[in-house]
Structure 1
Amino acid sequence: MRVVVSTYGARGSVEPMVGLAARLRALGAEVRVCAPPDEEFAELLAGVGVPLVPTGQPVRPMVSSVTPGSAVGLAQRAAELMAAQFETVAAAAEGCDALVAGGPLPVTTGARSVAEKLGMRYVHVSHTPVVLPSPYRRPPGRRGQPLPADVTDNEALWDLDAEIANAMFGELLNTRRASAGLPPVDNVRDYAFTDRPWLATDPTLDPRQPADLDVVQTGAWIRTDERPLPAELVAFLEDGEAPVYVGFGSMPMGSLKDVARVAVEASRARGRRVIVSRGWADVAPIDDKDDCFVVGEVNHQALFRRVAAVVHHGSAGTTTTAARAGAPQVVVPQGADQPYWAGRVADLGIGAAHDGPAPTFASLSAALGTALAAETRARATAVASTIRTDGATVAARLLLDEVG
């Protein structure tokens, strides 16, 4: 069986697809992944023996140059992403049996169109629940298209969201479909999602609520990371009490420099050493004191088991990895689905959700006090045992069974 996987985005969009690809390959499928041509993504896929089909422009330079929430240049980026699906991904999918796609609508609508044209099984996957229509929450909103604050009917807002998606991407998609000999689509968002989307999230962290969509929740797609920690990092960990980890993944710089500084100061005030992750924002230490250690790309699965707490932005991947490791968390959400994961951490009692993206010393110190409390550690340890580790395997087997 041959499977092509398509995605576009930062690390949180690509890493789960690598996990799925690794399990598909282990189960005997031939798989290739269409993803941005950033070097780190090529290395991730090479590590699991899966070829990368470079698709679109590198993500990291774009993330660092686009103002968060801005719609400037969105139309051009959408056109480029969709073109890549109809061209690069379509060529990669020739002769395949299934296409699994995730990411923004220009990617998933294009990917489903490719699958339709080639007559293959198509699966839409989301790594967060907030983008899927639900009567229990508002849509997250689209760049440059804010939803009316005075409307509280969630179902009405989701209908409006579908209209906005059509206005943003409908003409672009249908022009491409016409060139491919395909009929027009009248609901771009729902076409991409299908009526049976897959949701690659953990049921403990993300309990499903009844909705119209027949959502298949597989568990998070986690790539097992067996890399040893660097010797210098191990020496730092063993040279005192467990430190606090501070990292914001592939978030752009923005105000993160100040957030990191406040996090380091608040950790020190509570008598804790600090590990700072550079991330895509290239966060640097605030001074040269020896109680602060800076890391780049590192095995979080191993590291988080050895820290006192994890201070992060609240991506699905980092939240899941920290929960699985039993590490208390302080989530400082910067946008997108991050407030949702922050809320789940607080609701589960495994950490604290900071109110807003720009903490002060006082507010972050209070959040750290919650995370470092003995009862929070005990709760995080208990929840860790409930986090599923087989999500990628479940998804891979389900796909093979459906297509094979």
Structure 2
Amino acid sequence: MTNILITAAGSHGDVAPYTGVGARLRAAGHEVALATHDTYAGLVRAAGLEFRHLPADPRTRRPDAAGQARPAGPAGQRALMRRAAAFIEELGGGITEAAAPDTGLLLLSATTAPLGHHLAEAMNIPYLDLPLVPGAPTGDFAPVVSGGRSLGRLGNRAAGLLSLRVIDRLYADATRDLRARLGLPPATARAARRRAEAAGRPVLHGFSEVLVPRPADWRPDLDVVGNWWPWHAPDDRLPPVVEDFLAAGPPPVFIGFGSMASGDGARLSALAAAALRRARLRGILQSGWAGLTTRHAPGHDDLLTIGDVPHALLFPRTAAVVHHCGAGTTAAGLRAGVPTVPVPVTADQPFWAARLASLGVATAPIPFADLSADHAVDRLAHALTRATAAPDRRHHATEAAHRLAAEDGAGQVLKAVERLGA
């Protein structure tokens, strides 16, 4: 038995998968704590894990809304970098407090890993990186935050190396301050990253090769182990109002944007209702950070608004899912065997949207910005019709779901922990 600390930061999709990993480790006899933002304390405790606080909660700080208009060009990029660096520095200020003296192993998300490596060094304990997205350079594809467009093998790899340098710069101030706080000798973020890479410690990626086959040019210690699914109780059921709605007619379309599009709920709700009506489909709107609601679609009895429910329970009972293509929601839709209408907003979302389309389980992506265009209702309605009326798309989704069902990502993490002697 080992005292294991998992650290994860960011949106719901950045945190929830680690509840499933933690529950699997706890079932194997380990003591498991999950350090994350206060917003997710209930999620962590419901999974039977100890909750520990991390600062920089994105639900409470949100200096501006995701998906809203930002300054274009270099000015917008600089503003985005400043916000990210401030988030990381605040996170670094709290990560040391999350580790108890008896912590025997650190499991680190992509956001927390560049900080957690220094904590592991100071505490002289092992760690494992558990990212949800591919981050190491490869010739197979460009960095996931670059929009999913290939630059050729040489260009993809060069862009991947550049992406790592950008990350080093983001973590530079936090690294300096954290190492001073921990009593470690000075080291740049880049030097610390290279030292971690040279150590050859396994990195386990929590996504499926159904979507992203493991690149052959990755170093041997980089593994793709399958998705980690958010924990939910075995006896969980959908709320009665959802069950009643599902029973009242044909399978509906799910529409939700997760932690994206904050404050844009009125416009998006009206757009979604109009597109569903034009496609002659029923719909379930998940409120999310955008605040989607049927209040903006009076008289539309074929619409229902919901809060947070397990995607694993709802998605298999839908005709299709419309979402922003965060890594977790992308995997959940694929697991359910239903077609997707991808509406990517930012970061890694265009990458996952393109992957779904290439598998034949999704329509062509509709960039979120295009939902502000005059023809947005027609375009979304057309995509909904294509997603729900094409049997080939449903067939490909069913095949992908069967392949995902054979994977055990959390079990692979448990095996890696046991190999470390934990």
Fold match by TM threshold 0.5: yes
Q: Work out the CA distance in 2 between the residues paired with 1:378 and 1:302.
A: 20
Distance 1:311 1:343, change over 3 A: same
Q: Work out the CA distance in 2 between the residues paired with 1:211 and 1:63.
A: 38
Distance 1:192 1:369, change over 3 A: farther
Q: Check conservation: 2:342, 2:366, Cα contact below 8 A.
A: no
* Structure 2 letter corresponding to 1:166: D
- Give the match for residue 307 of structure 2: 296
1:18 aligns with 2:9: no
| Equivalences for residues 5-404 of structure 1 within 5 A | 5-38=6-39, 41-63=40-62, 65=64, 70-85=80-95, 87-90=96-99, 92=100, 94-104=101-111, 107-129=112-134, 131-140=135-144, 153-186=155-188, 187=190, 188-190=192-194, 195=200, 196-213=202-219, 214-225=221-232, 226=234, 227-253=236-262, 255=264, 257-285=266-294, 286-288=296-298, 289-357=300-368, 358-359=370-371, 360-372=376-388, 373-388=390-405, 389-404=407-422
Q: Deviations over 1:318-349 (max 9, x none)?
A: 11111111111111000111111111111111
SS at 1:386's partner residue? helix
* Structure 2 letter corresponding to 1:305: P
Q: Work out the CA distance in 1 between the residues paired with 2:10 and 2:156.
A: 27
CA drift of 1:249 comes to 1.2
Q: Check conservation: 2:130, 2:203, Cα contact below 8 A.
A: yes
Q: Work out the CA distance in 2 between the residues paired with 1:368 and 1:265.
A: 12
Q: Deviations over 1:75-132 (max 9, x none)?
A: 43222111112x3133x3x21221011142xx32221111111111111111012x33
CA drift of 1:192 comes to 6.1
* Structure 2 letter corresponding to 1:296: G
Distance 1:274 1:163, change over 3 A: closer
SS at 1:251's partner residue? coil
CA drift of 1:171 comes to 4.4
Q: Any gaps of 5 or more consecutive residues in structure 1?
A: 143-148
Q: Check conservation: 1:22, 1:223, Cα contact below 8 A.
A: no
SS at 1:353's partner residue? coil
- Give the match for residue 4 of structure 2: 3
Distance 1:230 1:163, change over 3 A: closer
Distance 1:37 1:371, change over 3 A: same
Distance 1:84 1:353, change over 3 A: farther
Q: Check conservation: 1:185, 1:191, Cα contact below 8 A.
A: no
Distance 1:325 1:179, change over 3 A: closer
Q: Work out the CA distance in 2 between the residues paired with 1:171 and 1:60.
A: 23
* % identity of equivalent residues: 30
Q: Check conservation: 2:269, 2:297, Cα contact below 8 A.
A: no
Q: Check conservation: 1:134, 1:211, Cα contact below 8 A.
A: yes
SS at 2:107's partner residue? strand
Cα RMSD after superposing both structures: 2.5
Q: Check conservation: 2:66, 2:259, Cα contact below 8 A.
A: no
SS at 1:294's partner residue? strand
Q: Check conservation: 1:170, 1:185, Cα contact below 8 A.
A: no
Q: Work out the CA distance in 1 between the residues paired with 2:346 and 2:83.
A: 20
Q: Check conservation: 1:45, 1:52, Cα contact below 8 A.
A: yes
Q: Work out the CA distance in 2 between the residues paired with 1:236 and 1:171.
A: 51
Q: Check conservation: 1:89, 1:111, Cα contact below 8 A.
A: no
Q: Check conservation: 1:109, 1:192, Cα contact below 8 A.
A: no
Q: Check conservation: 2:336, 2:401, Cα contact below 8 A.
A: yes
CA drift of 1:156 comes to 2.8
SS at 1:403's partner residue? coil
Q: Check conservation: 1:251, 1:280, Cα contact below 8 A.
A: yes
CA drift of 1:189 comes to 4.5
Distance 1:257 1:334, change over 3 A: farther
Q: Check conservation: 1:351, 1:370, Cα contact below 8 A.
A: no
Q: Check conservation: 2:263, 2:291, Cα contact below 8 A.
A: no
SS at 2:386's partner residue? helix
Q: Deviations over 1:326-374 (max 9, x none)?
A: 1111110001111111111111111213242123122222222221122
Q: Work out the CA distance in 1 between the residues paired with 2:333 and 2:386.
A: 16
Q: Check conservation: 1:115, 1:122, Cα contact below 8 A.
A: yes
- Give the match for residue 74 of structure 2: none
Q: Work out the CA distance in 1 between the residues paired with 2:214 and 2:265.
A: 32
Q: Work out the CA distance in 1 between the residues paired with 2:121 and 2:231.
A: 33
Q: Work out the CA distance in 2 between the residues paired with 1:75 and 1:323.
A: 33
Q: Work out the CA distance in 1 between the residues paired with 2:143 and 2:360.
A: 26
- Give the match for residue 145 of structure 1: none
Distance 1:190 1:252, change over 3 A: farther
Higher mean Cα deviation, 389-398 or 227-236?
A: 389-398
Distance 1:120 1:62, change over 3 A: same
CA drift of 1:222 comes to 0.8
Distance 1:11 1:67, change over 3 A: closer
Distance 1:72 1:199, change over 3 A: same
